[in-house]
Amino acid sequence: MLSGPTISNSSCLISLHAAGCIDVLEQLYGVVEIPDAVAQEIGLPLPAWMQLHSVQDRALVQSLRLQLGAGEAEAIALSMERSAARLILDDKKARAIARQLNVAITGTFGVLLHAKDEGVLSTVRDTLDALRAAGFRASDALIQEVLKRAGE
């Protein structure tokens, strides 16, 4: 496993909370760090294992905001500042920009696959079904690819 903090954007947090399985993040990573803009976007009381950090490099955030939303921009900037092991990020455009900046990324589905590998989840399918029922959007082809990778 990569050492360093885990940073998350809002989509994973909102989706896993809605599906009733946000605790998977704590079980996998212990602590998840989020920037101020993500805390505002999720609009929920933060659990004890989630830490709020203010981004220091406001110039980088402003530059990223030309192409991304506030949460995505701050999550990428915080990942760079904190030398994060991983940034949980689902948006395709934001992921491309993070890759260009050499930020290690995963997404909600990557988290679920990691959780199954670590024995935190016995099945990915049930959580995928709960995510979709909660409004998480993903193509059928992507869902099938995730299930294939999970061996389900």
pLDDT digits (tens, 9 = 90+) for 114-123: 999 999 999 9
Rg (CA), the chain: 15
CA-to-CA distance for 25 and 38, rounded, in angstroms?
16
Q: Flag whether the pTM goes above 0.85.
A: yes
Does residue 2 carry a pLDDT above 60?
A: no
In a domain, 79, yes or no: yes
In a domain, 113, yes or no: yes
Q: Name the pLDDT band for 3 (thresholds 50, 70, 90).
A: low
In a domain, 1, yes or no: no
Say which CATH number the domain at 14 has: 3.40.50.1010
Lowest model confidence (mean pLDDT) among 15-19, 27-31, 63-67, 135-139: 135-139
In a domain, 92, yes or no: yes
Q: What is the mean pLDDT of residues 58-87?
A: 97
For 38, residues 6+ apart whose C-beta sits below 8 A from its C-beta are 8, 9, 10, 13, 71, 74, 75
List C-alpha distances in Å: 15 to 3, 95, 111, 115: 25, 18, 12, 16
Backbone angles phi, psi at 124, to 5 degrees: -90, -30
Q: What's the first-to-final CA gap in the chain, in angstroms?
A: 24
List C-alpha distances in Å: 92 to 26, 72, 124, 142: 25, 11, 22, 13
In a domain, 27, yes or no: yes
User: Which residue from 36, 24, 15, 54 is spatially nearest to 137, judged by alpha carbons?
Assistant: 15
**Where in the sequence is the domain holding 137, given as residue range(s)?**
6-149
- The number of folded domains in the chain is 1
75-88 per-position pLDDT tens digit: 999 999 999 999 99
